[in-house]
């Protein structure tokens, strides 16, 4: 299997109308000026090392909350850098993310050579926009995204985000408006819950994946950890269930692996499989 590595390219919501003041460790800090990675300033630099949470624009983020624990893990040492808005040409506009880029100093020119903060499982620390827009005290982030031109009011009020909120979906769920849309996920994994929107209705299935140990054979992550990837649904002529076609895999450092990846087939599914399968077959012909 050949591959090549590419460098990392750089209902209703209340739209905020006034800037918010940021308090950090009970001391006033200059407000974050931007979430645009191309327009960062020294005042946007934040040191999160050892902190349990951080509220750069209202809502307080935590680093990682392991299952079964009553308390979250603090941000690791040397976690200093910039919050920024991340998106990718593979993904639809609704799939943007808030990330944190670690840099050695507050010089914005070092952003491109930095690396994104990772969770203990090897996945990047991200807050998907569908999650961010449903958080309390998120107006400061909406304000910055609008000011920076990274999101529009129409997108924030779109059917996609409205349905995501109404269904109370977790960040582990995939919500699709189009069969052809790529979506982010982590690999390897056993199952993936997918919801599709069609004519204002939602059908949902859980796909149980066949063996895809080839992901670990690429040795992009340490044993037992996950890799971040983009994938889309795939239907072949002889298939009785949709599979997953991996579009791109990212190394922990952010490098991108492109290849003719093997199709990940599914051996079981549950849920609204009749309308979901009908939607897949009709969409695949378009």
Q: What is the pLDDT of residues 80-128, one digit of tens each?
A: 999 999 999 999 999 999 999 999 999 999 999 999 999 999 999 999 9
> Distance (Å, rounded) from C-alpha 55 to C-alpha 208?
37
Tell me the whole-structure pTM to 2 decimals. 0.86
Reference 265, options 228, 239, 284; nearest CA is 239
- Residue 19: pLDDT over 60: no
Task: Label residue 1 by pLDDT band (50, 70, 90).
Answer: low
Please indicate whether residue 229 or residue 67 has the higher confidence score (pLDDT). Answer: 229
CB-count burial class (<10 Å; 0-12, 13-18, 19+) for 219 = exposed
Task: Label residue 17 by pLDDT band (50, 70, 90).
Answer: very low
- Residue 43: pLDDT over 60: yes
pLDDT at residue number 21:
33
- Residue 22: pLDDT over 50: no
- Residue 282: pLDDT over 60: yes
CA atoms within 13 A on the CB side of 181: 19
Reference 43, options 32, 34, 28, 54; nearest CA is 32
Reference 215, options 190, 180, 238, 193; nearest CA is 190
Task: Label residue 39 by pLDDT band (50, 70, 90).
Answer: very high
> Distance (Å, rounded) from C-alpha 255 to C-alpha 247?
14
pLDDT at residue number 12:
45
pLDDT at residue number 286:
64
pLDDT digits (tens, 9 = 90+) for 239-278: 889 999 999 999 888 889 888 899 999 999 999 989 999 9
Reference 118, options 135, 100, 132; nearest CA is 100
CB-count burial class (<10 Å; 0-12, 13-18, 19+) for 95 = buried
> Distance (Å, rounded) from C-alpha 173 to C-alpha 56?
26
> Distance (Å, rounded) from C-alpha 160 to C-alpha 157?
8
pLDDT at residue number 28:
47
DSSP three-state, residue 24: strand
């Amino acid at each position: 299997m050949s591959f090549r590595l590419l460098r990392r390219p750089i209902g209703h919501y209340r739209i905020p109308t006034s800037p918010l003041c940021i308090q950090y460790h009970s001391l006033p800090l200059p407000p974050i000026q931007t979430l645009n990675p191309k327009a960062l300033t020294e005042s946007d630099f934040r040191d999160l090392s050892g902190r349990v949470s951080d509220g750069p624009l209202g809502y307080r983020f935590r680093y990682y909350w392991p299952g079964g624990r009553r308390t979250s893990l603090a941000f690791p040492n040397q976690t200093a850098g910039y919050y920024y808005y991340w998106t990718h040409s593979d993904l639809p506009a609704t799939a943007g993310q808030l990330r944190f880029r670690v840099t050695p100093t507050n010089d914005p020119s070092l952003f491109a050579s930095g690396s994104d903060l990772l969770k203990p499982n090897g996945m990047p620390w991200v807050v998907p926009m569908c999650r961010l827009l449903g958080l309390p005290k998120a107006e400061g982030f909406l304000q910055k995204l609008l000011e920076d031109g990274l999101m529009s009011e129409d997108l924030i009020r779109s059917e996609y985000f409205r349905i995501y909120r109404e269904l109370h979906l977790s960040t582990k769920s995939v919500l699709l408006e189009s069969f052809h849309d790529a979506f982010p996920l982590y690999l390897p994994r056993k199952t993936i819950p997918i919801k599709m929107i069609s004519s204002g209705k939602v059908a949902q299935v859980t796909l149980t994946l066949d063996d895809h140990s080839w992901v670990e054979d690429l040795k992009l992550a340490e044993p037992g950890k996950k890799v971040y990837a983009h994938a889309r649904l795939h239907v072949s002529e002889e298939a009785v269930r949709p599979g997953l076609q991996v579009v791109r895999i990212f190394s922990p450092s952010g490098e991108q692996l492109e290849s003719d990846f093997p199709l990940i087939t599914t051996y079981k599914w549950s849920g609204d499989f009749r309308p979901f399968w009908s939607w897949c077959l009709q969409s695949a012909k378009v």
